[in-house]
Amino acid sequence: MDPQAVKSNVVLILDYGSQYTHLITRRIRSLSIFSLCISGTSSLKSITDLNPSVIILSGGPHSVHSQDAPCFPDGFVDYVEKNGIFVLGICYGLQLIVQKLGGEVAIGEKQEYGRMVIEVVKDYGGLFKGKQIGDKQVVWMSHGDEAVKLPIGFEVVARSEQGAVAAVANPGRRFYGLQYHPEVTHSPKGMELLRHFFFDICGITAGWKMEDVMEEEIKVIKGMVGPDDHVICALSGGVDSTVAATLVHKAIGDRLHCIFVDNGLLRYKEQERVMGTFESDLHLPVTCVDASVQFLSELKGVTDPEKKRKIIGKEFISIFDAFAHDLEQKLGRKPTYLVQGTLYPDVIESCPPPGSGRTHSHTIKSHHNVGGLPKDMKILDVPVSFLKRHPFPGPGLAVRIPGDVTQGNALDILRQVDEIFIQAIKDAGIYDVIWQAFAVFLPIKTTGVQGDQRTHSNAVALRAVTSQDGMTADWYYFEHKFLDDVSRKICNSVRGVNRVCLDITSKPPSTIEWE
């Protein structure tokens, strides 16, 4: 498709701080539609300059009644109506539409979080194409306020089982709203609705390709990094930083200098395995720094999970600074940039609170790295086996040992348990259908009987989840025989463990990692 045609089919997302905002962008791009995400409080000129065909108002953690509740700029409604732009409000976005266009939003009598059933109550605006009045579907809700009075011209087209407004429409003004999140996988019909909304209601034409972004990003990197500039890349051994490094390496070659830090919190034989891939398969210029003593010394006695993450982040920065200094001495000039790669959930969960000037989301937990680059894994020549690796947190096993990570031999026990669990999953042929699996060392002792003797040993937990993006997740349903075999093998093979538990909590209410 002609580039200009792609740009005229822009779907613009105004971000009000939802954990799922960037997921909306990803879902839209998966439909081969060009989408962009900017702050929900951007100026009207910032919006008009992008010439969008559709604007989505995202969800967010605020109440529209809050004094500092973020909102679209003055003149927004007139602009979209005069230019025939479609507007879809999601969650907070729906409530914003209702309140600003003359309706009323109130604190809900019953809050709705997680899976809920909604029912189509009116055929109006074509939002639920092919659905009959009375048809029901499961969706993912996350709201405390609700629309209680709609603006003139709007109609309720779906309600939750509790009677709350679930979807509204005003086709004449091209305004639509969903109280639930169609972008998450736990709304099974969500993508069907989005596809219908963009193509059938809004008349968007597909034509955007991820390959276009990769080519564009390489051009951007080449344009940003001067011909004599050098770049440092912090490699964690995960998919995200590896893909980011590979992308930058394609752009600037050996002027990229990668550093892999063993912080003493890695999985079983992680350093050996990861360095082998970097050197043999990817041919990346990587320096391995063993800083395990440095990290564990700083973490000794620390039990607060947020403090652990901050310490780990601080030590990483210290090591990167030293690496940059050494590189400067070698090259005779300072490295210009630091490259990092991470998951969208990490970016969202690490966002600062309102008032920071950066976003409207609330901090859930800090991540040691919050940068990233667009990627298309199939065309970067990264080994498939590496791309299929489960995500591993930047702070490593520190977030899988609640409390002091240096207590006893917790790290060694956890590494052994985790290796047994992951290998069993691979042997069972289910590794690729699980988003993430790992073991957790529990900071408790339990009573057991092993070898006809009473024991007072450690308990561990196993966690495995399914997801498409890490924003929401369900626990994986293992066969009982698999769990029985793994439990027996762990207790028989790992000295110091006499109890194995299974985590059967979804996200939300839990995060995937324990800390």
**Which residues are annotated as catalytic?**
91, 181, 183
Chain position carrying tokens 């997680």: 114
Amino acid at 347: V
236 is in an annotated binding site: yes
Rounded CA-CA distance 302/444 in Å is 17
350-354 long-range contacts (CB < 8 A, ≥24 apart) are 351/17, 354/17, 354/62, 354/68, 354/70
Residue 14 DSSP SS3: strand
Tokens coding 224: 């940003």
Amino acid at 179: Q
Rounded CA-CA distance 261/272 in Å is 12
Tokens coding 92: 């907070």
| b/e 408-441 (16+ beta carbons within 10 angstroms → b) | eebbebbbbbbbbbbebbeeeebbeebbbbbbbb
Tokens coding 38: 């900017």
Chain position carrying tokens 């947020």: 306
Query: How many residues would you count in the chain?
Result: 515
Cβ(181)–Cβ(90) below 8 Å: yes
237 is in an annotated binding site: yes
Reduced to 3 DSSP states, what percent helix, strand and coil does the chain have, rounded to the nearest 5? 35, 25, 40
Rounded CA-CA distance 135/128 in Å is 10
Tokens coding 430: 């289910």
Q: What are phi and psi of 272, to 5 degrees?
A: -60, -45
242 is in an annotated binding site: yes
Greatest extent of the chain over all pairs of C-alpha atoms, in Å: 81
241 is in an annotated binding site: yes
Sign of the dihedral through C-alpha 275, 279, 283, 286: positive
**Cis peptide upstream of residue 508 (ω within 30 degrees of 0):** yes
DSSP strands (E only) in 356-510: 436-450, 453-466, 474-475, 497-502
What is residue 281's DSSP assignment? I
Amino acid at 462: L
Tokens coding 403: 């409390």
Distance between alpha carbon 210 and the CA centroid of its chain, in Å?
19
Rounded CA-CA distance 497/489 in Å is 11
The helix (run of H) or strand (run of E) holding residue 245 is helix 239-252
* Nearest in space to 346 (alpha carbons), one of 405, 392, 402, 414: 392
Chain position carrying tokens 């006893």: 408
Give the annotated binding-site residues for ATP: 236-242
What are the binding residues?
236-242
